[in-house]
Structures are given as structure tokens and as C-alpha cells.
Structure 1
Amino acid sequence: MAVIQSQSATPAPAGPLARLRGLVAGLLGGSHEASVTKRLAGTIFIIRVISAAIAYLAQILLARWMGASDYGIYVYVWTWVLLLGSMLDLGIAPSAQKIIPEYRTRGELALLRGFLSGGRWLTLASSGIIALLLAGVVHLLSPWMDPNSIVPLYIGCLTLPAFVVANTQDGIARSHDWMQLGLMPQFIIRQGLIIGLTAGALALGLNLGATAAMAASAAAVWISMIGQMIVLNRRLVSHIEPGEKAHDVKGWLATSLPILLVESFYQLLSYTDVLMLQQFRPSEEVGVYFAVVKTLALVSFIHYAMAATTAHRFAEYNALGDKDRLSAYVAHAIKWTFWPSLLATAALLVVGKPLLWLFGPNFVGGYDIMLVAAIGLIVRSAIGPVERLLNMLGHQQICAAAYAVAFFMNVGLCMALVPRYGGMGAAASTSLSLTFETILLFYVVRSRLGLHVLAFGKR
């Protein structure tokens, strides 16, 4: 009787601390995969938020220290570094999250060891050669270019090999769930170094123009990459026992090059607006638009966090043939991409004007652009990281085709709208293109995999 009474008795009301623990348990709990994903995605998101704060501070300081014109040139060159640096790894960085889990699952340790070292050498060599070729292109085109942008572009070429190797190491670290090692050197240490080096240049009485700012950024990229390499190598030695190495370069490229197409069109779509704006509008307007993009970056960080956390697990569950587990995991990833993105967007729009004012009084005029740009980000978050799902399951070509269509749509819209409407035209073009891309990817996944990849609606 005592047991029955104990089980049927009404539980005592929980206190505030107990309710808070219950809420945290609900958010971070669930299945093992779900709870691990939430914790890792939360770690990535926190790192990206901290890095966003540092990067935001860096952009504010650079905008005020350099002036609108030099800042616009710096933004233009740095955008090229971000774009090309994400493409010159031959797709090895994102494909690491497919190749490494598959080698581990099949017990192919010699191939795994070979990839962990040879993959980085391959990306260093390829990006170094392309950087030299790009420097030659800058030299050939210099008579028709803005003289103030030529030296910063040369420095940007010098930056590319280190940027590419850092991305490759990021992919390797993520595949081992070492999220802090993958992200902190690129997003926190690098940004901190940029601030420290540019502030040091000012303290020495140097003129902080676009050239000096790019030199500081290049040094920051190289220093953070080398430090990341040292720590990663030490961890890999203790994580994987020494032994024979095998280098299946042909196999790596067969996997990575189709993924490279996807990543390339994704990056082109992400930076088309800034690059097109530079061609048709003054540098000052480019700076304002870039400030808007940086302010909205918090929303894209959520998608980035889930994509970085889930990609190698998509590959692992597919390699194991566990379709039910994969389907449930995909649904979980989509839900935890869309709803936090929606809340983050609403919060940013509330405080958008004060945040833009930090860049300077003339930057507040970009708030209307922010409203339009936010639409595309919200729509895109509704299907979560499905591009990683397609890549990891061998559907890279159709995913690349969807991104290509959206990219060319964005270019066409920018050419039509940017000359007349400036930043507002660029934001509208990108939002429309992201919406169209979302629709395409939704139907691709539904037809190819039979999954309902939407944060709401019938599954």
C-alpha cells in the first residue's frame, strides 16, 4: 500500500532551479545522437557567436580607422579571399566528413592515415599553384584596375594557401568531433589577431589603408593555421595508432570534386551580391551592405553549426545502412535549424539599427536592406542542412545543379536590380534566389530520398 500511495501521490511543485534543470535536460536530452548533436552544435554556435562579436568589433574598428573608401576596397579583396579560399581545396575540406567516417566504418586504417596527411599536402600544393596564377592575372589586369586595390589583391593571393589548409584541417577536426579545434583558430584566434595587428599598426603611426589591413589579415591567417596544424597533428598521433599509409588520391578526388561543385556554387551564391555591388556602386555603398551582411551573420551561424555537426553522421548512418536512424536524425537537424534561426532573425531585426550605428551614422540607412535580406535566410533555414545530406549520400551532382541554377538566377537579378537599386537590389536578388534554391532542394530530396525535409507540415 505504501508503494501504491507513493506512486499515485501528486508530485510536489518543482522549484525554479528544478524547472531550469528540466528545461536544459529537455533541450540537450533525447536520444544519444540527438543529445550529442545538440551539444556539439551548441558548441559550434557559441564559438561562431563569440567570433561574430570579435569580427563585428573588427569590422567596426576597421571601418572607423580606415574610412569608407579604403574599407570598401578591403571588403572587396577580403570577400575574394573568403570566396576563393572556400573553393581551392578541391572539395577535400567538406568531403573529409564523408571520407573519414567511411574509412573508419570499414576499418581501412592505412587509407585513413594517408588521407589525414596527404589530403592537406594536396590542398596546399593545389591552392599554392592557383594563387600564383591568380597573382599573374592581377598583374595582367592591373592597367584597368583601381590602383589602390592592386597591392591588396596581391596580398590576398598570398593569403589563399594558408586559408585553404585551415579549411581542410577544420573538416578533419569536425570528422572527429573536435569542434573547438576546427573552429577556434579560424573564427576566434584569427579575428583577434587581425584586431591586434591593425591596432599595433595604428599605434606605430602607420597609415591603416586597405594594404596594411590586408597585410595584417594575411599574417593572422598564416599564424592561426600553423598553430592549428601543430595541435591537430598531436591529437591525431594519440588518436590513431601509427602504421602504413595508403594514398587513394583518385578516390579522394572522385568523392570531393562533385562536392566541390556544390560548395563552389554555394559560395558564389553567398558572395555574388557583394561582388556585383562592387562593380556597379561606390565603395562606400559596398561597406554599408557588408555591415548589413555581418549583422545578419548570426542567423547563418545556426545553419552552419547544424551542418558542421551533422554531415559526418549522415555519412556514417548511410554507410551502416540504418535508414530509420538517418531519417529521424535528418528531421531533428531541420527542426534545430529553422526555429532557432527564426528567433535569432526576429531578435536581430529588433536591435538592427543600433548595431548598424556602431559602424558609423551613415550605416543606419542599411536597415531596410537588412529587412529584405533576412527573408531569404529564414526561408533557407526551413529545410535545414539538406545540401550536406545530399553530398554525404552521393547526390552531389543534382545538389550542384540546384545551386548552379540559383547562382545564375542571382547573377541575372543582380545585373538587373543592383545598378538601379544598389544594396536593396542586391538583397532582393539574393533573397529571391535563396527562396528558389530552397524549393529546388526540397523537391530534390523528396524525389531522390523520399524524405519530407521541411521544419513543418506532414512528414
Structure 2
Amino acid sequence: METRSEAAASSGPYARLRGLLARLTGGTHEASVTKRLAGTIFIIRVISAAMAYLAQILLARWMTGSDYGIYVYVWTWVLLLGATMDFGMASSAQKIIPEYRTRGDHARLRGFLAGSRWLVLATSTAVALLLAGLIHLLSPWIDPNAILPLYVGCLALPPFVVANTQDGIARSHDWMRLALMPQFIIRQTLIIGLTAGALMLGIGLSATVALLASAAAVLIAVIGQTIVINRRLADHVGPGEKAYDVGGWLAISLPIMLVESFYQLLSYTDVLMLQQFRSSEEVGVYFAVVKTLALVSFIHYAMAATTAHRFAEYNAIGDKDRLSAYVAHAIKWTFWPSLAATVTLLAFGKPLLWLFGPSFVGGYEIMFVAATGLVVRSAIGPVERLLNMLGHQRICATAYAVSFVMNVGLCIALVPRYGGMGAAAATSLSLTFETILLFYVVRSRLGLHVLAFGKARPAR
């Protein structure tokens, strides 16, 4: 029988207050955990962004405009290739690990945790050597000042790829600080420290020296991460038999690799195309604009990193209602913070760009065009992770491929004439087109309304 105090608690202002708190905190344990973990990721990425921003400001001021442009160009290639040379293992880990845990397949789980890292280390080393050979063959047609920096970029690739893979493994266990701190905090700190140290020693900060410092930072950070993650996995999983289902891993990972590859290409096409048609100084200005707007994409990254393995888990146990509610939550908490961050960054855009140098303020108008695509894309949240985790990698890759081809075509048409403004317009139009494609793919394949506006329908 309900007591008077229980009745009071279940009705009136007490119930309304609890209802309000439930809505503010997401209403479910999963939502609360997601927001807490996403908040952790976002804070790390914001701190990292501030450090990366500081690093780029210092490098822009310490280096000549030409050297800084070459550094940006080569480091963009490192980021692009490093994010795609893991065969999709960093993302597929968030599908494979929850499925092995759900099935109780501990032998394959142990095999994946160890074997995936050795696999990507071996393959990325081989690819880096092949790229170095290609640079040698093409050297007569490459800017002489960029050849040595490109070789240094090849050195950075294997540890960069291993770090990405370990990021995915750590996120699958909700070890968000272990996943992100080495790459986004420790690495940035080391880049600043090593480049500053070179200047103090009287070493001129050329593009080659800056890239050597960046490569060393990547290597030191991944060594530390490897030591810590091995200790945690030993306690969490324990010793035992290992089974290596490499074929099964690749069957899941390769389609995801296509998605990631086209996503990265879409993200960096503007900078790379700008380098082909405009001066290194203009590339530097545009890169400063992109870095200034990075906070918006960090929100999407935070939600994607937090939700992917739970999409896979809920799908594996067949809980469609829980999956639908979780997807709606992830979209809401991607779009509205992204919109608020965009408005804030545009309001303070000029002083932020001035920090790079007075000439960088000329990129302020470009910010408005570049921000448009980011806001539109945030309106559907991390649906690419949803498609990947639920086995629709191929159609997701197709959507990204079409958007990438569109971006390249628009860049070729707009960049030679309009420079950075053309690159921003091309990317924003491509992101808008990609958003429309993904919205219809998810609605047709999963029966979900994946838009920040409107009511979500249950997953089929």
C-alpha cells in the first residue's frame, strides 16, 4: 500500500522536478553515461584544440610562410593516411569487441586485442616504405623544399596508425582518457616542447625540423599508450588461449576502411586541392580557419567515439527500442552543442585568427562559408557510426564516395578562381549533399528518422 510520503513523491511538484531532471540528464542510465563519457572526450578535445591552436600559432610565427605551408601540406597527408591505413580496425574494434564480449568468445577477443595491433603495424610500415619509394621516383616533379619533409612524414605513419588502433580498443572499454590523452594532449605538448627546444638550441625551424619534432611526438606518445593499455587489458581480460580470425576482422573492417577513407578524403580535400592551385601562404591562412572551426567537429567526434560500441551492443542483443532511443539522444546532443559552438566561434573569429598573425584575419569571411557545412552535417549526428556498427558499411561508403567525388569536382571548379572561399564553398556543399544522402539511407535501411528536428521512429 502506498504511504502518504510515497504518494507525495509520485505526484505534484516532486514528480515534476524529477521529470525535469530526468529530461535534462537524458532519462536513462545509458544516456547519463554517454553524456559523461562524451563530456570527457569533448573536454579532452577542447584542451587539445587549444594546445593545437597554440602550436599552429607558434609554428606560423616561428616559421616562414612558405615553410609553414609545406608543414601544413605534409602533416595533412600524415593525418589523412594515418587515419585510413589501419584497415578500419580502429572503428571496427567498437563492433568486434562488444560482439565477442556478448558471445563470451574470450579466445577471439584476446586474439583481436593483440593481433590487430601487430597487423596494422606491419602493414603501415610496408605502406610507408612504398610511399618513400614513390616520393623518390616522383622527386623530379615535387617541390624540392617538400621532398625531405615528405620522407619525414612517412616515418610518422606507422606509430600514428598504431595509436589510432589503440584508440578504438580503449574506447570499446570506455577508457576514454587512455584513448585520447596520448594522441591529443601528450602529443600536442611534445610538439610544442620539441619545436621550442629546437629554437632554444639555435636550430632554424624549417618544415623538416617541425615535422621531425611532430614525428618524435607521435612515437613517444604511442609507446606510453601501449605500455598502459597492455597493463589494463591484462587485468581486464586475463590470460588464456588466443584465436586469430583475421579473415573475419577484415570482412568487417575493410568496408569500414572505405567509409573512413572517403570521410578523411572529404575532410582534407580542400586543403590538398588548395595547395595545388594556390600559394603556400594561402594554404596557411585557410588551415588557420579550419583549425579555428575545429571545436564544432569535436562535438561530433565526441558523440561518435562514445556511442559506436553501444550501437553494436544494443544491436547484438536485439534491443531495437533501446537502440532507437539511444540514436535520438546521440543526434540531439550532437546538433545543439554544435550550433552553439559555431555561433560562438563566428562571433570571436577575427581575434582568434589574428593570433596567427595580422594577415590571417583575411580568412574571416571564409569561416562563415566553412561553418555552414559543419552545422548541417551535425543535424544527423553520428549516423555513419550507426550504419557501420549495424552492418551497412558498404552503402555508407558509397554515400561518402559520391560526396568526395562531388567535393573534388567543386574544388577543381572553384578553387583556382576563388581560392580559400571556393574550397570552403565546395566542402560545405559536399557535406550538405552527404547529409541528405545519409538521412535517406538510414531512413530506408533502418526505419529511423535521424534528424535533430522531428520525431524518431522505432528501428525495424
Asked if TM exceeds 0.5, the reply is yes
1:101 aligns with 2:98: yes
Corresponding residue of 2:292: 295
Q: 21, 33, 36: which one pairs with 1:36?
A: 33
Count of residue correspondences: 451
Corresponding residue of 1:239: 236
1:56 aligns with 2:53: yes
- Cα deviation, residue 144, structure 1: 1.1
Q: How does 1:209-228 map to 2 (within 5 A)?
A: 209-228=206-225
Aligned equivalents of 2:235, 2:186: Cα separation in 1: 24
Aligned equivalents of 1:7, 1:319: Cα separation in 2: 41
Q: Specify the code of the residue in structure 2 equivalent to 1:371.
A: F
- Cα deviation, residue 261, structure 1: 0.4
Corresponding residue of 1:15: none
Residues 99-136 of structure 1 show CA distances to partners (whole Å, capped at 9, x for unaligned) of 00000000000000000000000000000000000000
SS at match of 1:90: coil
Residues 275-309 of structure 1 show CA distances to partners (whole Å, capped at 9, x for unaligned) of 00000000000000000000000000000000000
- Cα deviation, residue 24, structure 1: 8.1
Q: Does the aligned pair in 2 maintain the 1:88–1:123 contact within 8 Å?
A: yes
Structure 1, unmatched stretches of 5+, are 13-18
- Cα deviation, residue 29, structure 1: 5.0
Q: How does 1:309-324 map to 2 (within 5 A)?
A: 309-324=306-321
Q: How does 1:247-258 map to 2 (within 5 A)?
A: 247-258=244-255
- Cα deviation, residue 68, structure 1: 1.2
Q: How does 1:341-420 map to 2 (within 5 A)?
A: 341-420=338-417
- Cα deviation, residue 241, structure 1: 1.7
- Cα deviation, residue 28, structure 1: 3.7
Aligned equivalents of 1:129, 1:454: Cα separation in 2: 42
- Cα deviation, residue 10, structure 1: 8.7
Q: Specify the code of the residue in structure 2 equivalent to 1:92.
A: M
- TM-score, normalization by structure 2: 0.95
SS at match of 1:394: coil
Identity %: 82
Corresponding residue of 2:199: 202
SS at match of 1:213: helix
1:186 aligns with 2:186: no
Q: Specify the code of the residue in structure 2 equivalent to 1:237.
A: A
CA 1:11–1:323: 2 relative to 1, 3 Å: closer
Structure 2, unmatched stretches of 5+, are none
Q: Specify the code of the residue in structure 2 equivalent to 1:323.
A: K
Q: Does the aligned pair in 1 maintain the 2:374–2:431 contact within 8 Å?
A: yes
1:332 aligns with 2:329: yes
Residues 148-206 of structure 1 show CA distances to partners (whole Å, capped at 9, x for unaligned) of 11000000001000000000000000000000000000000000000000000000000
Q: How does 1:78-93 map to 2 (within 5 A)?
A: 78-93=75-90
1:111 aligns with 2:91: no
Corresponding residue of 1:267: 264
Q: Specify the code of the residue in structure 2 equivalent to 1:401.
A: T
1:141 aligns with 2:138: yes
Aligned equivalents of 1:341, 1:23: Cα separation in 2: 23
Aligned equivalents of 1:244, 1:340: Cα separation in 2: 45
- Cα deviation, residue 457, structure 1: 1.9
CA 1:421–1:107: 2 relative to 1, 3 Å: same
Corresponding residue of 2:160: 163
Tell me which moved more, 254-263 or 23-32.
23-32
CA 1:317–1:22: 2 relative to 1, 3 Å: closer
Aligned equivalents of 2:189, 2:66: Cα separation in 1: 23
CA 1:452–1:119: 2 relative to 1, 3 Å: same
CA 1:328–1:209: 2 relative to 1, 3 Å: same
- Cα deviation, residue 67, structure 1: 1.9
Q: Does the aligned pair in 2 maintain the 1:28–1:39 contact within 8 Å?
A: no
Aligned equivalents of 2:213, 2:143: Cα separation in 1: 21
Aligned equivalents of 2:385, 2:361: Cα separation in 1: 36
Q: Does the aligned pair in 1 maintain the 2:26–2:329 contact within 8 Å?
A: no
Q: Specify the code of the residue in structure 2 equivalent to 1:47.
A: I
Aligned equivalents of 2:24, 2:306: Cα separation in 1: 16
Aligned equivalents of 2:380, 2:4: Cα separation in 1: 48
Q: Specify the code of the residue in structure 2 equivalent to 1:101.
A: P
Corresponding residue of 1:284: 281
- Cα deviation, residue 22, structure 1: 11
TM-align CA RMSD? 1.9
Aligned equivalents of 1:458, 1:122: Cα separation in 2: 43
Corresponding residue of 2:122: 125
Q: Specify the code of the residue in structure 2 equivalent to 1:242.
A: P
Q: Which runs of 4+ in 1 moved over 2 A?
A: 6-12, 21-29
Q: Does the aligned pair in 2 maintain the 1:337–1:384 contact within 8 Å?
A: yes
Q: Specify the code of the residue in structure 1 equivalent to 2:83.
A: S
